[in-house]
A = this chain, B = another copy of it.
């Protein structure tokens, strides 16, 4: 989303264009891997309540996606980014992205709909293991 794209997004969602909100969206937009509430707080310089409230709001409006990789902290990323999955290193906890060429999950969605009558809205696929660096040791 471009800078003016953000303006349009905010307007369409009935959200005011505040300093904190703009900083937060900009931070999410430039981050290469999902960020935590604490990281957002530090970067944006807002109160933690504000950060959490803003996260809720942006999640509700569909601007961000939430992830939990099992270390007790939630992470968030710009939902407009290209579809990808995450590789989480169980050793150093680094998070790498993996762009998907073939969308296998889409195929499963069809099976799920026909077999279970369950309507898939989104899916999350994460791989846990050892990153390049940690595999060497």
* A residues lining the B interface (CB < 8 Å): 66, 68, 70, 74, 85, 87, 89-90, 96, 98, 100-102, 104-105, 107-109, 111-112, 115-132, 135
Contact = CB atoms under 8 A, between A and B. Distances in A.
Number of identical protomers? 2
Given A104-B107, A112-B98, A120 B129 contact: yes
A131 B64 CA distance: 23
A118 B122 contact: no
Contact of A127 (B109, B127, B131, B135): B109
A121 to B, nearest CB: 4
A89 to B, nearest CB: 8
A51 to B, nearest CB: 17
